[in-house]
A = this chain, B = another copy of it.
Amino acid sequence: MDQTLPRIHDNFPFLQRKDIELLFSISELRKVQSGDVLLKEGDVNSNVHLVLSGLLRSYVINSSGDEKTVLISKENMRAASLNSFLHKRPSEITIEAIEPSTILIINSNLFQQAIISNENLALLEKQGMRSYLIDATERLHLLTVLSPEERFIRFRDEHPDLIQRVPQMYLASYLGVTTVSLSRIKSRIAKQG
C-alpha cells in the first residue's frame, strides 16, 4: 500500500491517509496477469475496480458472438458492472486485464457503509458518479457525432500512450469498427495529415 498511497493522494487530494487506510481496509488489492478475468458476464459482482497500475478492458458479446470492447480503463480509472452495482443483477460485461495490473477491488456494500460516517469517502463516491456520468456522456457524444476516423484521432490525441498499449483489435471494437477498417484509417492518416 505504501507505494500506491501517494498515487491515490495525487488523484484524490481531499483523501487523507486515514481515509485511504479505511478504503484499503474494505478493499482487496489484487495483482493480475494479462488475460486474467476480474468479473465475468453473468456473475453478480457489485465491486468497483480501481486501476492502480496496468490496463483493463470491459467487453460484451453481441448477437453474432463477437466481443465488443465498451471500456478501456488505465491508471486511476474505474471499471464496474452498472447492472451489478446498482441492481445486484448479473453483469452484462466481462472485465479482463490486458496488462499485468494492480487493481484495488472496492466492495460496494462495505463502501456504502463507510460513506455514512466518512465525509471524504462520500465525496469520493459523489465524484465517482459524476465522472462516470461525464465519461458516459462524452463517449455517447463521440459515438454519435464523430466518424470512425474522427474518433480515432480524438482517442489518439487524448490517450497517446494507449495507442501503443492497447492491442488494435480491442481498440477497433472500442471505436466501433473492424480491425481491417482501423488499419485503413491508420494508413490513410499516415499518408496525409
Using a CB-CB cutoff of 8 Å, which residues 139-193 of chain A contact chain B? 139-141, 143-146, 150, 176
- From B92, B134, B140, B141, give the contact of A86 (CB < 8 A): B134
A145 vs B130: C-alpha distance in the bound complex, in angstroms? 25
Q: A82-B133, A133-B82 are in contact. Are A143 and B141 (CB under 8 A)?
A: no
Q: What's the number of copies of this chain in the assembled complex?
A: 2
Do most interface residues of chain A lie in helix, strand or loop, or is the interface mixed?
helix
Give the complex CA separation of A68 and B141 in angstroms.
10
19 contacts between A and B (CB under 8 A): A60-B144, A60-B145, A62-B146, A63-B145, A63-B146, A63-B150, A68-B144, A70-B145, A82-B134, A86-B130, A86-B134, A129-B133, A133-B133, A136-B136, A139-B140, A140-B140, A140-B143, A143-B144, A144-B176
